[in-house]
Amino acid sequence: MTERKSLIVGISGCSSCGKTTLARILRDVFPNTFILHQDDFYKEEKDLPKKNGLLDWDCAGAIDVPGMAESLAYIRQNAAFPPHLESKEDQNSIGECPVSDSAIAALKSSVDSSIPADHPLRTGALSLCLLDGFLLYPPSMSPIHPYLDIKIFLRTTYEKAKMRRERRDGYVTIEGFWSDPPGYVDKIVWPNYVEEHAWMFENGDVERDFKEDALAKENIRVEKGLDADRDLESTLNWAADVVLDGLKKSQV
């Protein structure tokens, strides 16, 4: 295994596709695991770009990308947040968990039986960092790519993303609190998602088939055999298998 103390697992997809919920469950299922949120690297509101007359929180220009890359480098070697980093994202509500307690308990039991007692993840020699972010794999985020050991991508439909996003109260920010203005999903969130991720899909249609060669080139893992609407419980089990596979390969 290469010299590192933390294996970094990217969990990405459109805003409101279930990334944070998935990350929080995986954190509880796997030992020695913590979450890093891309949202903790937002620039100050005064430095955000604008689009269609609105502040644009959903683009690479809103993120301190070099700072994010530096933090990932630190986490890889220290298995902890840099001293200056304080997460705000866990203060945000994500609603009721759609996965039952019994399903989570069953998965935890399965994962426990799959990781030997002498595995570095159990002995403390290795940790898992789950990086939850709406924008991780496109070229605009290339400075962080060398630090991503496992790449998971979740898909969703426009209808579901819009419904979930508009149900949210808002987000804790450096300045205080942000609530989406009317029309924000249609003017900012969805167009930005399509623009940044079209390269992953046939004919640029983010609700249709993936480009298998593009995924293979970037080593991005997606749940196969499903349309854009997914059941989070099945996705959870699939994602756990992806992480377990990554843990095995990291010791080769």
Residues designated as active site:
39
∠84-90-94 over CA atoms, to 5°? 155
Report how far apart the first and last C-alpha atoms of the chain are (Å, whole number).
Answer: 6
Helix (H, G, I), strand (E, B) or coil at 157: coil
The dihedral of CA 90, 102, 106, 246: what is its sign? negative
b/e for 117-148, b at 16 or more Cβ within 10 A?
Answer: eebbbeeeebbbbbbbbbbbbbeebeebbebb
**DSSP label at 188?**
I
Instruction: Give the span between the Cα atoms of 10 and 111, in whole angstroms.
Output: 19
∠29-164-183 over CA atoms, to 5°? 145
Instruction: Give the span between the Cα atoms of 147 and 5, in whole angstroms.
Output: 12
Q: What is the DSSP string of 75-125?
A: HHHHSS--TT----GGGS---S-SS-HHHHHHHHHHHHHHS-TTSHHHHTS
